[in-house]
Chain A
Amino acid sequence: MGRRLDRVVLRLRSLFRSADVDRSLQREIEGHLEEGIAEYVARGMSRADARRAALRDFGPVARIEEDCRDMRRVSVLQNLVRDLRYTLRSLGRQPLLVAAATISIGVAAAANTVVLTLASELLFTSPTVRQPERLAYIRTANGSHVSYPQWRELDQSGALAGVAGYQIEIEVNWTGPERSISIMPLIVTSNFFDLLGVPVATGRGFATSEAQAEQQPDVVVVSHPFWQNRLGSDPAALGRVLVFNGRPHTLIGILPRRLRAVPGLGIAPEVYLPLSRHVLPSLDDRRSAAVMLIGRLHERQTLQQGRAALQAAVERLDRGGESAKLGGIRQFAAAGGLSQLTGFAFPEIVLFFGLLAVATGLVLAIACANVAGLLLARGSARRREVAVRSALGATRGRLVQQFLAESFWLALGGTLLGVAVSFALTGALSRVTLPVPIPLEFHAAIDARLLLLFLSLLTVTTCLCGFIPALQVTRPSLVPALKQDEPRFGRRRWTLRAVLVIGQVAVALVLLLTGCLFLRNLGRAHHLDPGFDTSHTLVAQVSFVEGRYTPETRAAFLHDAIERLTALPGLPSATFAHGVPLTMRSGMRTGTDLQRGDGAVFHARYDGNFVGPDYFATMGIPLVKGREFLTTDHAGSARVAVINQEFARRYFSDREPLGSQLHLPGATAPYAVEIVGVVGNSKHRTIGEEQQAAIYESFVQRGNRGRFVHILARTAGSPDAVARDVERVLNGMDRSAAIEVIPMPSALGFAFLPSQIGAVLLGVLGLLGLGLAMVGLYATIAYSVSRRTAEIGIRMALGASRGAVLRMILRDAALFAAVGIAIGLACASFITQPLAAFLVAGLSPGDPVTFTGTAVLLFLVSLAAAASPARRATRIDPVAALRRE
């Protein structure tokens, strides 16, 4: 033991005090030789002869020293440390190179870290529950949801240890101290906490016995963010009574912070409520889509066995003759552990992150190619040093190791920078509220996964940046390099460097082009006329408590609200509607057979909405002929409808629509409406859509159901000015209703979201790629100019004009850029095809303007990048260049 420790100490000593140890070895051998010399001198030799004799006796000193060092068995490590030290010093003298390389790698590493940590957070983590690897997400063949009775039967079938159900799509109103807000709860079956073992920080979860849906349970468990933000971190929160949907619930538990909720994908429900008739009135309906399923396997039951058992249970239940069938098990995916990789439940998200990872991987490749190019240029200038060292006996391996040590430092600096930046980014990202209706929460932490990612990024970048220059520069062709006899007049254009640069240009083009496509899309979208006034309207999203109103009382409420609002100054008109175009709830799109009053049957695709009186005046949609809906169009009067011009053009081209009858599909049988008006066209789902046909019906006649309604108001001035007044009036009418008043421009943010995200993400990536590629091109041209100094000098001495030299250098740059652009265009034409779904009508994924524009832009920027080294070439003094011969 002591001996082993001694040895370690010796080795470490020889590692870290290698200069000391070497000196001591030299002294020792010198001493030995002195003794030998003294002996020979004593025999009468001259001192010089004696020294020669002693040396002869001893043997080759350098080799023996090396043998002694080898005996200490640290030389590999020692060489590595020496290389690392040496390269660190030599890099210290090149701040520009270090800065360019570190930033290049840093940017790419940051992008990769953000994407990969997000992806691993979303895809490879398990919900925070007891033994997540024993849980499985279950989807039946007939959909992701099953009804409450079906859940009960599956849970009691005994196929699995248990099946829990949860529901993420039903909002509830929480009546806070000032007003009611609509929040996203996780509505769960009674066994949820008991079966899954979701940890509770303070208090407890629901016991199965107290949360039975039939007994109208009135307990709630809240998330840590809810407790913190909405309850002000109240230390006495346990036992507090919270009002959800107008009913008091007792708070019995607070969940821990940084909890990964059961639905996955970063979804972070604010509160957990037991399933009951209050939140889901259709509880006993076997056809209602009540809950999604997650099951726990029996002990020692494998995933396959669990699936088979559940499949058998489903078949047994389906044979039972009930009306709604489950149809079998479509998906049975592990919720945790390694097996979740094979049965992943969310393929679209995997695809999305796959694409993102490819994009950021490309940026990393560009950055590495760039740094490799810089090192290559530098390494070639150092070819002589390399040749001298290898002539002195350094093996190729040692030389390669030295180059790798250099790229290691650059990779280390870059990766550290990247991880730091990505942390800042994810920190900022988690503070931004995304304009999506579901609360999301991502955890980024310094953990084993991040460390692993860091190490792999470091290794990959070190190798990518280091190996190619190392191999190229240390290529064993000693003699010409020693004589500095490089082929000066050769036209070796297609070097490895050139190929790297061409690749970079191609990748940058693809990224930039895709970004431009999205940007152009966004620009077009903003200039598209939605067909209604967005600058002087505001919208109040109203969510009633389920079951609080009958159709009559709701209609009375809405008419009352309109009266009170139009009494406000600066509010000329107000109305209500089922959907608001270009928002999350934009109404519905139908494709069905319709029958005209004259008997003609035709297939129609149209957008439908249920709207109140003065809707078109309020929205600023022009009335072409006929009339608006009126307050006299009430539930008891004749049913009326208004169509848009597109509907009239498509389906009433041969007769006057006003006064015509139209048979629309009802819940049981078609019903007739009379067309009383034709209005201008407007957009419904997305700003970029082709013009759609539309039918508007009277809200009180047809749309008066459900808990959501929009109240719309036209404002004389800016909608922001009166938003608070509107909110106050509406809140005063029903405290339990969640009301959010938004000026129309903000409400439309949703319509632009996909294009915005796409444009920003790809634009940023594209610009980064462009910048990196340009640095690469610059380095290549600059290097080629420095190598061709003599050639250029001779050409100029022989009478070549500066213009001719400039053209000669730029020709190379232009050639590289053109080839890269051509390759990039070819790739882009494939890659952009799947993007068609995101683009506005009339903008094809192969948009010639974008393609030509990007190509020309990239070409010009490439020439600009080459301009500075090319100008340097024209300033070469022929006399000085030739003197170097």
Chain B
Amino acid sequence: MGKPSDLIQGTLDLLILKTVALEPRHGWAIAKRIQQISGEVLQVNQGALYPALHRLEQQGWLRAHDGVTATGREAKIYALTAAGRKQLAREIESWDRLSNAIGLIIREAE
């Protein structure tokens, strides 16, 4: 396993929404979770994470509240809103279309 890949542009939103859909988490936990689930393949650029979280909150897809983390720290916990759930469905659908399309091209090229 080499250097963890950077995220494909535009997929960070999808990953955050998906991660939070399972259960509400704070920023650190979201980054860790993405890393773990992807088998350490995807490394979240921490500098990009927080602006993205704030943007998604601004758009009304996430809602933040103060809470306590698993490790007992006080933190801002992000949860998915109803609008966020719809947005997640849209993002998954467009990701499927995109990955299918890329798959088709790759396979045809073989």
Contacts and interface: CB of A to CB of B under 8 A. Distances in A.
A binds B: yes
Interface string A143-170: 0000000000000000000000000000
A36 B54 CA distance: 20
B58 interface: yes
A6 interface: yes
B87 to A, nearest CB: 10
Interface in A28-76: 28-29, 31-32, 34-36, 38, 57-60, 63-64, 67-68, 70-73
A38 B58 CA distance: 30
Given A32-B27, A35-B73, A7 B60 contact: yes
A58 B47 contact: yes
B58 A73 contact: yes
B47 A64 contact: yes
A7 B58 contact: yes
Contacts of B81: 3
B51 A32 contact: no
Nearest to A73: B58
Contact of A7 (B27, B50, B51, B59): B59
B98 interface: no
Interface in B10-33: 26-28
B74 interface: yes
- Interface SS, B side: helix
Nearest to B49: A32
Interface centre among A3, A4, A38, A60 (most CB of B within 10 A): A3
Interface string A4-27: 101100110000000000001101
Given A32-B27, A34-B73, A10 B58 contact: yes
Interface string A484-496: 0000000000000
B83 interface: yes
B58 A32 contact: no
- Interface SS, A side: helix
B92 interface: no
A68 B51 contact: yes
B75 interface: yes
A35 B71 contact: yes
Contacts of A11: 58
A824 to B, nearest CB: 59
Contacts of B60: 2-4, 6-7
A588 B105 CA distance: 106
Contact of B26 (A2, A31, A73): A31
A71 B46 contact: no
A71 B54 contact: yes
Interface centre among B27, B51, B71, B76 (most CB of A within 10 A): B51
Contacts of B47: 58-60, 63-64, 67
Nearest to A57: B46
A31 B46 contact: no
Contacts of B27: 28, 31-32
A64 B50 contact: yes
Nearest to B66: A24
A68 B74 contact: no
B51 A31 contact: no
Nearest to A10: B58
A72 B76 contact: no
A72 B83 contact: no
B90 interface: no
Nearest to A69: B54
Contact of A67 (B51, B58, B74, B83): B51
A73 B57 CA distance: 12
B59 A32 contact: no
B55 A32 contact: no
B46 A68 contact: no
B28 A31 contact: yes
B50 A10 contact: no
Interface residues of A, number: 30
Contacts of A29: 50
A60 B46 CA distance: 10
A4 B59 CA distance: 8
A35 B46 contact: no
B6 to A, nearest CB: 14
A28 B73 contact: no
Contacts of A38: 71
A748 B59 CA distance: 78
A63 B46 CA distance: 12
A36 B32 CA distance: 10
B73 A31 contact: yes
Interface string B69-80: 001011110000
A758 B74 CA distance: 76
Given A3-B83, A57-B46, A24 B76 contact: yes
Given A31-B75, A34-B73, A72 B58 contact: yes
A693 B59 CA distance: 91
B76 A28 contact: yes
A761 to B, nearest CB: 58
Given A7-B60, A24-B76, A32 B54 contact: no
A34 to B, nearest CB: 7
Contacts of B71: 35, 38
Given A57-B46, A59-B46, A31 B74 contact: yes
A59 B44 CA distance: 12
A827 B60 CA distance: 65
B4 to A, nearest CB: 12
A393 to B, nearest CB: 18
A804 B49 CA distance: 69
B54 to A, nearest CB: 4
B26 to A, nearest CB: 7
Nearest to B52: A71
Contact of A28 (B46, B55, B59, B75): B75
A32 B73 CA distance: 10
A157 B75 CA distance: 88
Contacts of A35: 28, 71, 73
B107 to A, nearest CB: 37
A658 to B, nearest CB: 105
Interface in A657-701: none
A25 B55 CA distance: 13
A35 B47 CA distance: 15
Contacts of A58: 46-47
A28 B57 CA distance: 14
A11 B57 CA distance: 11
Nearest to A6: B60
A10 B71 CA distance: 29
Contacts of A10: 57-58
Contacts of B26: 28, 31
A12 to B, nearest CB: 12
A28 B54 CA distance: 11
B78 to A, nearest CB: 10
Interface in B34-72: 45-47, 50-51, 54-55, 57-60, 71
Contacts of B58: 7, 10-11, 71-73
A71 B51 contact: yes
A667 B56 CA distance: 97
Interface centre among B28, B74, B83 (most CB of A within 10 A): B28
B68 to A, nearest CB: 11
Nearest to A36: B28
A7 B71 CA distance: 31
Interface centre among B26, B54, B74 (most CB of A within 10 A): B54
Contacts of B75: 28, 31
Contacts of A70: 51
23 contacts: A11-B58, A25-B54, A28-B26, A28-B75, A29-B50, A31-B73, A31-B74, A31-B75, A32-B27, A35-B28, A35-B73, A36-B28, A38-B71, A59-B45, A59-B46, A63-B47, A67-B50, A67-B51, A68-B50, A70-B51, A71-B51, A71-B58, A72-B54
Given A3-B83, A28-B75, A31-B28, 7 more contacts: A7-B59, A24-B76, A34-B73, A38-B71, A64-B50, A67-B47, A70-B51
Ranked nearest first, the 4 interchain pairs of A and B with the lowest CB-CB distance are A59-B47, A3-B60, A71-B54, A35-B28
